[in-house]
Copies of this chain bind each other. A is one copy, B any other.
Amino acid sequence: MIFPVLYYDMAMGTIIYAGTFDPITNGHLDLIHRAVVLFSRVIVAVAKNDDKNPLFTQAERIEFITKSINNLPQVEVEGFDGLLVDYFKKRGGQAVLRGLRAVSDFEYEFQLALMNRKMNEKFETIFMMPTETYTFLSSRMIKEIARLGGNVSPFVPSHVEQALRKKLFL
C-alpha cells in the first residue's frame, strides 16, 4: 500500500501571495521567505484597494516590496485591481497564500476563502504562519505607531521606515 516517492527535491508550483501591503512588514517578508522554500515561484499580488484609503499608492507599495526582495529571483511583485478571483484566474496560479496570526485573522480569512471558492471552484487558499516573533505585527499598528512618532525600525525594512517618516512629515 506504500508507493515509492521519487520527486522529493522537485520544487512546488506557483503561489499568489495577495494583500494590500500598506506597507510591507517584516512579518510579510518572513512569510515570503518561507514560501520560496516551498514554491518555485511566488507572486506577491498587491491589491489597489483605493476604497480602503491606503496610506501609500499601489505603485509605492509595489516598490517597497520589490526593494525588499531583490535577492529572491523566484519572487515576482505585481499590482492588481478588481477581484482576487479574477486576477487568480487570469494569472493561472494554483493557490493563494495567506498569513495567519490570530483568531480574528483566522475568521476573516476563513470567510474570504469560502466566498472566493464559491465564485471559483478552483480557488484554493493555503495558510502559513510567520515566525512567532511576528505574530503581533500588522500594517495598521505600524502606521499608528509611526503617526505617534514611535520607532518602527524593528518592524519594517529601513526604506519603508524612511518612507513612513516622509509621508507623515515626521
A169 beta carbon closer than 8 Å to chain B: no
Bound Cα distance A23, B11 (Å): 32
Contacts of A51 in B (CB 8 A): 147
The one of B102, B111, B125, B145 that contacts A111, using a Cβ cutoff of 8 Å: B102
Contacts of A3 in B (CB 8 A): 73, 76
Whether A66 and B1, one on each chain, are in contact in the complex, defined by CB atoms closer than 8 angstroms, is yes
Whether A110 and B129, one on each chain, are in contact in the complex, defined by CB atoms closer than 8 angstroms, is yes
Question: What 10 A-B pairs come out closest when comparing CB atoms?
Answer: A12-B12, A114-B136, A127-B127, A12-B13, A1-B66, A83-B150, A111-B136, A83-B148, A8-B92, A106-B106
Q: Taking beta carbons and an 8 Å cutoff, which residues of A are in contact with B?
A: 1-3, 5, 7-14, 34, 37-41, 43, 51, 62-63, 66, 73, 76-78, 81-83, 85-86, 91-95, 100, 102-104, 106-108, 110-115, 117-119, 122, 124-129, 131-133, 135-138, 141, 145, 147-151, 154-155
